Structure 1
Amino acid sequence: MSTTNMQDAIVIGGGFYGAAIAVYLARQRGMKQVTLIERESSLLSRASYNNQARVHNGYHYPRSFTTAYRSRINLPKFVQDWPEAVKQDFTKLYAIARRNSKVTANQFERFYREIGAKIELASPALRSLFEPRLIEEVFLVEEYAFDSTQLARWALSELQESGVRIRLNTQAIAIANSPNQSLNITLAPEGKDREQISARYVFNCTYSGLNQFGGDFPGTRTALKQEITEMALMRMPPALSDLGITVMDGPFFSVMPFPARGLHTVSHVRYTPHLHWADDPNTNPYQKLDGYQRDTRVDRMIRDIGRYLPSVLGSEYIDSLFEVKTILSKNEGDDGRPILFEKHETLPGCYSILGGKIDNIYDVLEKLETENLSGAQITSSEQAQ
């Protein structure tokens, strides 16, 4: 097994979080030797692509003040930092179901006015799209979508300009302590012999694979839940082609623009999750997904959504995105999406990081700003001067 030179930092996982953290370490923390490890053949090709592509503004979380408020704060930052990737040219509606909703229309409106989010009653023309016997109220809000292919182009360009080394088709399989106060990472490049790389810091940004490491890796203290999910890709009829729609908060479904394909995703609280299990180091989520049958449930999604939004019955099914979704077990009840940010005491210098949605990246970067990452060539304050 070959060994490569010491690195300042290794970032494992080439999704949006891994790429953004690697750029941050190189640019804001002055690290000269940063390597990004990705098991796939391209960046941002797994969970960063296979999702609803929603840039949240808080409306999704009326039962989690912290998540809702942080989304409202983070959205304008995201739009400013990645304008080419943000799709704003559609109308976004949130509708509250009359029955089985965990919030009423009055509660929903009052909550978002209190946190300063834009919300107003939808026009009669937009309200006429919904079945009034099932929908209590419809609100016009401000929420966007993102194009993950544009973010992938940004990631590749920024990583290269920042001097970050990118290793694709390479899996990190073990993290271990080293006698010289560094960490040894065992790599398994596709079609090649295993090798070892050393670094002062390791950032585990593997999302569903957070606990899939051997060596001295202790696992996350925070319990995780894994789900195999299906996002149906649909071509909407003209009445819905320029809309994004979410019905809350119980029946709960969404029809959202998916800019990367010029289509819409359709998700449903009952039919999008196909299979779930408590995260376990002995259960590889990627192998579980690879072996899953992937029979679509789109007919059941559309049949139920059509009761609330009749014109969706005229949509055309194109494809489905299947992926493993990872959430913190403690937030199943309130739908909150805080970040996971853990320092492993028995593996000094190793961090595990997970965000439930794309705008959580700012929460991660704020946490990193408080870390004393010794070994960086210059500090973040020096970088700013």
Structure 2
Amino acid sequence: MTPTGQMVEAVVIGGGLYGCTIASYLAQERGLRRVLLIEKEPRLLGRGSHNNQARVHNGYHYPRSFTTAYRSRINFNRFVQDWPGAVKRDFTKLYAIARRNSRVTARQFERFCHEIGAKIKPADRSLHALFEKRLIEEVFVVEEYAFDTTCLAHWAQQELARTGVHVRLGTRVLSISRVDGGLQVLLEQQDGQPAELIGCQYVFNCTYSGLNQFAGDFPGTQTGLKQEVTEMALIQAPAVLKDLGITVMDGPFFSMMPFPSRGLHTLSHVRYTPHFSWADQPDTDPYAQLENYAQSTRFDRMARDVARYLPAIADSQYVDSLFEIKTVLLKNEGDDGRPILFEKHPALPGCFSILGGKIDNVYDVLEKLGTEEFRNIPENQ
């Protein structure tokens, strides 16, 4: 625990994979001795890091954003190497190109994969037979994996303990302010205890959808954000699809991926997964929007459309849905790019806001942090 009023060197707000990785990096690689990670949920990696498709991207998903695809290719091998126990490889991943309404043809997709150096080969007849040939131009076998958030959360707990990072769970940061000698964060009052102030030199805002939900002197991000309430359906896949991951693209189509932490598959659909969206505003708490939303599943609509392309999906069993807030940069809505957001706030020297659109983007963040200079607080402070 950090006593009230004590000075730490860095406060990391947000206990997803990004926040945990950054906190560990600051302590181990940058020599910051007193790092405090604050997470408002009761456990680490319990929100955005968990409530997603659990895909370890290898570039295939972004034929209209070469930079994002190429960065995924670079980061893919690093992710697999760093977290081998969390990576599920024992399935066949297929990408199928639709004959109509796709923004890329099969030939264009194959050429794109060769350009970024991603493995690709035509699927055999038995795999082709799973699809409605009148609607699917070509099917490819690719190299793409899924990750188990439960394993990543276990790693995070051990890593933070090993590197000496203090962790506060179930704690919400209300404000970030500038004070003489550095920064100050205000923590929400809990269990009848007074609100707590923590002084620090650096603040790393890794709150994903909550990036702009702080009072005090925090100015908000300069980059515009879009918030979406999304649904990831969890299904028991029929036997014929159990060992597969499938993406039909590129347009108003769908993906079905193994979801290792539940032993199920996710089903997402470009049209039905987003339930509603809005431009991010400081006075509109995205998590409150999600909590107040009815969260009625659209699985039936997803399944009906998917079955036109992949008939066997009609035999799947709906189990549950993961509803979550998805945050994207407004400037990338048109090209599907998923660059990181990495902003330093001149009005709050030492404060950084960080957002990644994919799990493997964390390496892009570490590269950016590697160019920053950090100073230690003397031991007697």
TM over 0.5: yes
User: For 1:69-218, what aligned pairs fall within 5 Å after superposition?
Assistant: 69-180=70-181, 182-191=182-191, 192-218=193-219
How far apart are residue 190 of structure 1 and its match? 3.6
Between the aligned partners of 1:338 and 1:251, the Cα distance in structure 2 is 22
Q: Distance in 1 between matches of 2:203 and 2:174?
A: 13
Task: Give the SS at the match of 1:244.
Answer: strand
Deviation, structure 1 residue 373: 1.3
Distance of 2:224 and 2:136 partners within structure 1 = 36
Shift of residue 205, structure 1, vs aligned partner: 0.1
Q: Is the 8 A contact 2:59 2:116 kept in 1?
A: no
Give the superposition deviation at 1:189. Answer: 4.8
Structure 2 counterpart of 1:172, which letter? V
Structure 2 counterpart SS, 1:225: strand
Q: Is 2:220 aligned against 1:238?
A: no
Distance (Å, rounded) in 1 between the aligned partners of 2:246 and 2:190: 42
CA-to-partner distance for each residue in 1:217-237, whole Å, 9 max, x for gaps? Answer: 000000000000000000000
Using the TM superposition, give the Cα deviation of residue 3 of structure 1 relative to its aligned residue in structure 2, in angstroms. Answer: 3.2
Q: Secondary structure at the match of 2:37?
A: strand
Name the CA distance, whole Å, in 2 between partners of 1:111 and 1:294.
Answer: 37
Paired position in structure 2 for 1:278: 279
Counterpart in the other structure of 2:41? 40
Is the aligned partner of 1:20 residue 2:25? Answer: no
Q: Which residue of 2 aligns with 1:364?
A: 365
Question: For residue 326 of structure 1, what is the aligned residue in structure 2?
Answer: 327
Kept in 1, the 8 Å contact 2:27–2:35? The answer is yes
Whole-angstrom distance in 2 between the partners of 1:362 and 1:11: 17
Map 1:339-378 → 2, pairs under 5 A = 339-375=340-376
SS, match of residue 188 in structure 2: strand
Q: Structure 2 CA distance, aligned partners of 1:127 and 1:77?
A: 32
Q: Residue by residue, what CA displacement relative to the aligned partner does 1:272-307 show, whole Å, maximum 9, x if unpaired?
A: 000100000000001100000001000000000000
Give the equivalent residue in structure 2 for 1:300. Answer: 301
C-alpha distance after superposition, 1:226-274 (max 9, x if no partner)? 0000000000000000000000011320000000000000000000000
- Alignment CA distance shift 1:376-1:331 (3 Å): farther
Distance (Å, rounded) in 2 between the aligned partners of 1:252 and 1:221: 32
Residues in 1 aligned to 2:282 and 2:101: alpha-carbon distance in whole angstroms: 37
Q: Secondary structure at the match of 1:84?
A: helix
CA distance in 2, matches of 1:88, 1:73: 18
Preserved contact between residue 97 and residue 251 of structure 1 (Cα < 8 Å): no
Secondary structure of the 2:204 match is strand
Residue 117 of structure 1: CA displacement? 0.5
DSSP 3-state at the match of 1:3: coil
Counterpart in 2 of 1:227? 228
Q: Shift of residue 147 of structure 1? A: 0.3
* CA-based RMSD: 1.0
- Paired residues in the alignment total 375
Runs of 4+ deviating beyond 4 Å: none
CA distance 1:258–1:376, change in 2 (3 Å)? farther
Give the Å deviation of 1:212.
Answer: 0.2
Helix, strand or coil at the partner of 1:170: coil
Q: Distance in 2 between matches of 1:267 and 1:162?
A: 37
Q: How has the CA–CA distance of structure 1 residues 48 and 190 changed in structure 2, closer, same or farther, with 3 Å as cutoff?
A: farther
Shift of 1:170: 0.3
Residues 281 and 247 (structure 1 numbering): CA distance in 2 closer, same or farther, change over 3 Å?
Answer: same
Deviation at 1:326, TM superposition (A): 0.2
| Deviation readout 1:308-364 (Å, 9 max, x if unpaired) | 000000000000000000000111111110000000000000000000000001000
What do residues 82-110 of structure 1 show as CA deviations (whole Å, max 9, x unaligned)? 00100001000000010001111111000
**Alpha-carbon distance in 2 for matches of 1:193, 1:269:** 45
Following TM superposition, by how much is the alpha carbon of 1:12 offset from its aligned partner in structure 2, in angstroms?
Answer: 0.1
Give how far 1:376 is off. 7.1
CA distance in 2, matches of 1:134, 1:190: 56
C-alpha distance in structure 2 between counterparts of 1:234 and 1:79, whole Å: 25
Q: CA deviation at 1:69?
A: 0.4
Segment of structure 1 superposing worse, 367-376 or 73-82: 367-376
1: CA distance, partners of 2:331 / 2:104: 20
Q: Which whole-Å CA distance do the structure 1 matches of 2:56 and 2:190 have between them?
A: 34
Structure 1 counterpart of 2:264, one-letter code: L
| Corresponding letter in the other structure for 1:211 | N
- 1:179-233 CA-to-partner distances (Å, cap 9, x unmatched) read 12x1000011543321100110000000000000000000000000000000000
Distance 1:26 1:273 in 2: 37
Deviation at 1:163, TM superposition (A): 0.4
Give the gaps of 5 or more residues in structure 2: none
